[in-house]
Structure 1
Amino acid sequence: MLKRFVIILFCTLLLGACSEKQPVGKIKNVGLLVPETVYDQVWGSKGLKGMLKIQSKYNVDVFYKEGINSELAAERAVKEFDQKGVNLIFGNGEEYAAYFNKISKKYPKIHFVSFNGNAKNENTTSLSFKSYAMGYFGGMVAAHMSKGQNVGVIAAYKWQPEVEGFFQGALAENKQTKVSIDYVGNWDDDRKAIQLADGMMNAGVDVIYPAGDGFNVPVIERVKERGLYVIGYVSDQSDLGESTVLTSTIQQVDKLYEKAADQYNFGKLKSGNLSYDFQDDVISLGKFSPLVDKGFIRKITKQIENYKQTGRLPQ
């Protein structure tokens, strides 16, 4: 069912103060499509948070629809959004790039934004995170904290740049580190991801990087049961256990939504494929566990700042 957010008078509670509202230019109302739910604690929830920021900043109506996992469902949702005066639509996943390339031709006055895809039309944009460096710094933390010099990545797909980044970062921190890598083949297969985690831990892995936003929370809970460690993924997951989550590699999806809305509002949102990294303040490491020594935290914080300035990773 189409859901509409009610604008809250006390907008300071909605991630932005009334005094900070921006003048509305091109932006009218905004829509969000998600393949599953906006309450997944990770990617979908960050999309929702981004929409709330846009609503608060521009005082516009925002709408979302869940369970939009086919082109036909997306086309129906876009039609409804169009009737609501929406002229900026976010598709919170890579699948929407292909959908939007087709649908956008029928709606030239709407701009369509997807993630990690290939946008082909003048009114389509695909946003992506440059996640290699994110994984690299996560790998450095994992290798530094591994007592057995044995760490592992459980990723969704082989194409994820953060996997190779984690591998190289771990070796940069400690060349003696063994890095195990397994793939779930899906963002959301909790059962397989947990089986892979059990296999790794049984083989001596003591730090795991669950690089899949649909299964990382169950994997973290399983690792916590074993008294071992993880690197969180996408969100700051320190609240799942500061003695388990050493740090998190954060993709600030909500901030990227806001950036795209700002650019669109002032007529500066480019079509095609755009990518963002630490330098754009949308990727960061999260809160460090108190188990991580302060000297190392100072060192890696300085290395991240150096990367933001020079683009060079520590070797």
Structure 2
Amino acid sequence: MKTFVKLISLVVVIASIMAIFSGCGSSNPGANSDAAPPAPAENNTAKAPVLKAAMITPQKLGDNGPIDACYAGLQEGGKDFGYEIKVLEPESGEYEDSIRAMCDEGYTLIFTIFSQMQDALSRVAPEYPDVHFVQILGDLDMDNVKTLNFKDQEASFLSGIVAAKMTKTGKVAVIGGAEVGDNIRNIAGFEAGAREADPNITATHLYVGSFEDPTKGKELATTLLNDNYDIILEVCASSSMGIREAIKAKGGTTYMIGNCVDESMAIPGQVPCSNFTNYRSWFYNTMKEVAGGKFETGVISQGLAEDAVDCVFADDSVMAVPQEIKDIVESYKQKIINGEIVPPSEIKN
């Protein structure tokens, strides 16, 4: 009897041991209802920071020119590289506060557009050393700032060649928005190009005093047209809307040369070419750079060799420019790229 009891006890012990091992090896966490659920695995993967880029512009969107081109680059960069993007359009006097607001909201890549914002950025940038700032047009040289400039004079030199070859009166002009760096470079290049093609040409320039005054733009253009100037290069943003009206009203063989974007459709048949400036690529390429963990600082100028500027002719279906003129322009373009010709960036009297 004792032997039988011992045998039964031994069987119970063996069964209990087997049950314990069976429970430990189960892939079903509910197999042992008394057991605590396994602790979740610790996630040691750091969450990537959100990329945030802001564009602060003193001129409004909807100019069909540089501001819209900048915004297109911002949008494309945001989509391709995963940025959260934002645009501010502050009034004069609000620039500094707008830059600080974007920094405080966690935007670590901030584009400030045109030289009128440079002073505000120079005061704010040192307060936020970890923020990457991009000054579009200017001469600001700081540790966390990239300042980008076009060699506007190169494209304008080519459009000056076009103007000299197409004018019927021997009188061509530039209407600028203000006496600022990019306008000065455009005027210098255009007048030099026109005189290169025709040393006897009359070339002059006027300033609107604003980039958003179409009425004054039209007034100046009308004055020039009445004085027998028949080709006008515009470098005055929204003020150029008035220039378009004056050129269109005058008709005939009077022409406007566009700026920043292809403006041939602005006045079909009266815009032979445009000075193209690649604002879009500046935004897109910088956003790509920062997303890859890099950021080049300093004052940087880009021109024909970098595909940053160009002289873009109207499509033949809109306005047919003689092939001879196109060939001459191409020849000068290669000379500039090769360094044989260096268009001036300062206006010569």
Larger radius of gyration: 2
Question: In 2 relative to 1, CA 286–269 (structure 1 residues): closer, same or farther, beyond 3 Å?
Answer: same
RMSD between aligned residues: 2.2
Counterpart in the other structure of 2:146: 125
Native 8 Å contact 2:81 2:291 kept in 1: no
Aligned letter for 1:88? L
Question: In 2 relative to 1, CA 181–47 (structure 1 residues): closer, same or farther, beyond 3 Å?
Answer: same
Counterpart in the other structure of 1:274: 300
Instruction: Select which of 173, 177, 184 maps to 1:152.
Output: 173
195-204 or 117-126: which moved more?
117-126
43-52 or 175-184: which moved more?
175-184
Native 8 Å contact 2:152 2:186 kept in 1: yes
Native 8 Å contact 2:175 2:235 kept in 1: yes
Aligned letter for 1:221? E
Native 8 Å contact 1:27 1:88 kept in 2: no
Equivalent residue runs for 1:135-174 within 5 Å: 135-159=156-180, 160-174=184-198
Identity of matched residues, %: 20
In structure 1, C-alpha distance between the alignment counterparts of 2:119 and 2:259, rounded to whole Å = 26
Instruction: Select which of 49, 58, 64 maps to 2:81.
Output: 58
Deviation at 1:307, TM superposition (A): 2.1
Native 8 Å contact 2:51 2:83 kept in 1: yes
**Uncovered stretches (5+) of structure 2, i.e. residues with no partner:** 1-47, 344-349
207-216 or 112-121: which moved more?
112-121
Instruction: Select which of 34, 47, 50 maps to 2:70.
Output: 47
Aligned letter for 1:286? V
**1:219 and 2:243 are equivalent in the alignment:** yes
Deviation at 1:204, TM superposition (A): 0.6
Deviation at 1:68, TM superposition (A): 4.3
**1:304 and 2:308 are equivalent in the alignment:** no
Corresponding pairs, count: 288
Question: In 2 relative to 1, CA 176–118 (structure 1 residues): closer, same or farther, beyond 3 Å?
Answer: closer
Instruction: Select which of 56, 59, 74 maps to 1:33.
Output: 56
CA deviation string 1:198-255 (max 9, x = no partner): 1111111111112212312321222011112111011110111231111000111111
82-91 or 244-253: which moved more?
82-91
Native 8 Å contact 1:47 1:254 kept in 2: yes
In structure 1, C-alpha distance between the alignment counterparts of 2:337 and 2:272, rounded to whole Å = 22
In structure 2, C-alpha distance between the alignment counterparts of 1:311 and 1:67, rounded to whole Å = 43
CA deviation string 1:33-91 (max 9, x = no partner): 11131212112111211101211220221111113432xx3344334433543210001
Instruction: Select which of 239, 242, 254 maps to 2:265.
Output: 239
In structure 2, C-alpha distance between the alignment counterparts of 1:313 and 1:118, rounded to whole Å = 20
Question: In 2 relative to 1, CA 300–26 (structure 1 residues): closer, same or farther, beyond 3 Å?
Answer: farther
Deviation at 1:93, TM superposition (A): 1.6
What secondary structure does 1:243 align onto?
coil
Instruction: Select which of 100, 117, 137 maps to 1:116.
Output: 137
Question: In 2 relative to 1, CA 87–146 (structure 1 residues): closer, same or farther, beyond 3 Å?
Answer: same
**1:69 and 2:98 are equivalent in the alignment:** no
Question: In 2 relative to 1, CA 286–123 (structure 1 residues): closer, same or farther, beyond 3 Å?
Answer: same
Instruction: Select which of 249, 254, 259 maps to 2:275.
Output: 249
Counterpart in the other structure of 2:6: none
Question: In 2 relative to 1, CA 76–247 (structure 1 residues): closer, same or farther, beyond 3 Å?
Answer: same
Deviation at 1:311, TM superposition (A): 5.3
Deviation at 1:282, TM superposition (A): 1.3
Question: In 2 relative to 1, CA 61–165 (structure 1 residues): closer, same or farther, beyond 3 Å?
Answer: same
Give TM-score, length-normalised by structure 2: 0.76
Native 8 Å contact 2:113 2:137 kept in 1: no
In structure 1, C-alpha distance between the alignment counterparts of 2:330 and 2:50, rounded to whole Å = 37
What secondary structure does 2:102 align onto?
helix
Give TM-score, length-normalised by structure 1: 0.84
Deviation at 1:100, TM superposition (A): 1.3
Counterpart in the other structure of 1:210: 234
Deviation at 1:26, TM superposition (A): 9.1
**Uncovered stretches (5+) of structure 1, i.e. residues with no partner:** 1-24
CA deviation string 1:242-287 (max 9, x = no partner): 3111100011111111222233334443323111111111111123
Question: In 2 relative to 1, CA 26–255 (structure 1 residues): closer, same or farther, beyond 3 Å?
Answer: farther
